[in-house]
Amino acid sequence: MVHLRIVAPEGMCREVLAVLERVDSVINVVHLPGAARKPVGDVVLADVAKEDASVVISELRRLGVDRTGSISVEHIDTQISDAATEAERVAEGAPGDAVIWEDVVHRTSEESTLSGTFVAFFLLAMLITAVGILLDSPILVVGGMVVGPEFGPIAATCVALVQRRGDLAVRSIAALAVGFPLGITVTVLVVLLLKATNITPDAFSSDDHGLSNSIANPDFLAFFVAFCAGIAGMLSLTTAKSGALIGVLVSVTTIPAAANIAVAFVYGDWSSWRGSQEQLLLNIAGIHLAGVLTLGVQRAFYTRRARRHRARNSGGGPAAA
């Protein structure tokens, strides 16, 4: 279940209550007249089955509640109620498959912002992974992937393309366009310093390092893994499941390739340098393609559901599920 806290002007509250009361999957509707002070208005509380949350929120936004008041969304971990059980029963679909699009947009907007913290995590991920490549240590490479923050802007780009949100697309693309080049540049400088101080070997060849060699050889299987990672990433984002672990999976196809570009450049391994660039571009393309397709399918199901909801209510039929 999802809890809604709505603040609406007094004159709009009757319409808000009508939207909530005609949907069978909405329960625990509470009206507190004049309870809000900033902005001034009535407060309405309600719980809705997760499957219908976005449909109900879209109806409230059509009334203009988001412009003249506010809509807060909170996830309910546990609710012990026969009414809640019935509300989830009448809602079409399964809670595990439900997508709250407003929640998705909010999360991706926050995670795609180019900030000092984002840049710091990007640099740390690249540096840790570069050391892992130099030492041929899978553990360190995985450690770098855990730190990598690139899943946020990649997911945001996919959401922006599906929902045609230009502002979100610009912000997320800017984060990637700054993060990868800056991370590679800083990694080049650090590896040069390590090499100059004899901390790392004078020579490095991908032929002698299995991790570097595999990263620098893009093929169909690499694209296939990136495509699968993109699907998994989008599903984790929209269903809010295992987001951190899925972010690591997405990093498998991005952070190591970017770090290997820097290492290969420092040591003049131009074959590996070119291969790593191809790997990075191929994987980013695969993730985005999979992400857009996955979100497109989910969005199509949501659009059809919203149309049925509006048709039932405009036609005076039974309450929408």
Mind giving me the DSSP string for 286-306?
HHHHHHHHHHHHHHHHHHHHH
248, 181: one domain: yes
Cis peptide before 181 (omega within 30 of 0): no
177, 82: one domain: no
pLDDT of residue 242: 53
The token pair that represents 143 in the structure block: 């450690």
144, 245: one domain: yes
Q: How far apart are CA 160 and CA 155, in angstroms?
A: 9
287, 140: one domain: yes
What confidence tens digit (pLDDT) does each residue in 35-48 have?
999 989 999 999 99
Q: How far apart are CA 182 and CA 175, in angstroms?
A: 10
Domain final position from 97, 130, 160: 97
What confidence tens digit (pLDDT) does each residue in 262-317 have?
999 999 999 999 999 999 999 999 999 999 999 999 999 888 888 887 777 664 44
Q: Evaluate whether residue 313 is within a structural domain.
A: no
Sheet holding 40-48, edge to edge: 26-37, 40-48, 2-8, 70-75
Q: Which of 122-131, 176-185, 242-251 has the lowest mean pLDDT?
A: 242-251
Q: Evaluate whether residue 309 is within a structural domain.
A: no
The token pair that represents 305 in the structure block: 């559901």
Task: Tell me the average pLDDT across 72-82.
Answer: 91
Owner of token pair 């907007």: 109
CA angle 72, 102, 318 (to 5 degrees): 85
Beta-bridge mates of residue 47: 3, 27
Q: Evaluate whether residue 219 is within a structural domain.
A: yes
**Percent of all residues in the chain with a pLDDT value above 90, rounded to a whole number:** 53
234, 123: one domain: yes
85, 216: one domain: no
Q: How far apart are CA 56 and CA 63, in angstroms?
A: 11
pLDDT of residue 321: 32
Among 306, 54, 295, 305, CA closest to 159: 295
The token pair that represents 312 in the structure block: 């039932």
Q: Which of 34-38, 167-171, 226-230, 251-255 has the lowest mean pLDDT?
A: 251-255
CB count, 10 Å around CB of 311? Answer: 11
71, 129: one domain: no
31, 123: one domain: no
78, 129: one domain: no
131, 270: one domain: yes
As for how many domains the chain has, the answer is 2
Give the residue numbers spanning the domain of 220. Answer: 104-304
Burial degree of 14 (CB within 10 A; 0-12, 13-18, 19+): exposed
The token pair that represents 259 in the structure block: 């770090």
Q: How far apart are CA 142 and CA 57, in angstroms?
A: 40
pLDDT at 33 over 90: yes
42, 65: one domain: yes
Q: Evaluate whether residue 165 is within a structural domain.
A: yes
166, 186: one domain: yes
List the CATH number of the domain containing 77.
Answer: 3.30.70.260
Among 23, 16, 18, CA closest to 51: 23
Q: Evaluate whether residue 295 is within a structural domain.
A: yes
What confidence tens digit (pLDDT) does each residue in 218-240 have?
889 889 988 988 888 888 888 76
CA atoms within 13 A on the CB side of 261: 19
Cβ within 8 Å of residue 96, ≥6 positions away? 239, 241
